[in-house]
Structure formats: structure tokens, C-alpha cells
Amino acid sequence: MRGAGDSPLESPTRSSPVVGGHDIGTRPLLLLTVPLAIGGVQLIVLGLLGELLVRVYHESQGNPVYAVRQVFRRPVEE
């Protein structure tokens, strides 16, 4: 049976992650930087793939991306 103060939440030793042989203790931002950096790289790659996809799509249509309504020319001076 457990005593009055024997709660699993009140354990005297706190388990903290060990990264590279070093206890990170009270620095959770160190653990957050890795997934956030990986997520940032994924978003950049996704944006580049989207840009490539849009360019290939517009090129396959055969139409220009813009239309010139009127061309103004200067008279050639000789």
C-alpha cells in the first residue's frame, strides 16, 4: 500500500532526456529546435516543389502567361 505522500507524480528523481551524453534538464527549447528546423526545411522544399509544378503546368498549356494588348514603337531616326 502507498503512504500519504507516495504519488507517482511526486517522485524525488526527475527523469530528463539525455542528448549526446549531456543532461538537458530545464532546457526544453533545445529539444524543440530540432523538429522546428526539420519542419522549416520541409516547408521550404514544399514551396520549391509547388513553384516547379506551377511553372511546368503553365509551360504545358502553350499559352503565354501574359498577353500584350498593344505595342508602341518609336519612328526610327536615320
pTM summary value: 0.51
pLDDT tens digits along 23-65: 777 777 878 888 999 999 999 999 999 999 999 998 888 877 7
Decide if 62 contacts 56 (C-beta within 8 A): no
Domain ranges within the chain, ordered by starting residue: 1-78
pLDDT tens digits along 6-27: 555 554 555 566 666 777 777 7
At residue 5 the predicted structure's pLDDT band, cuts being 50, 70 and 90, is: low
Is 90 exceeded by the pLDDT of residue 78?
no
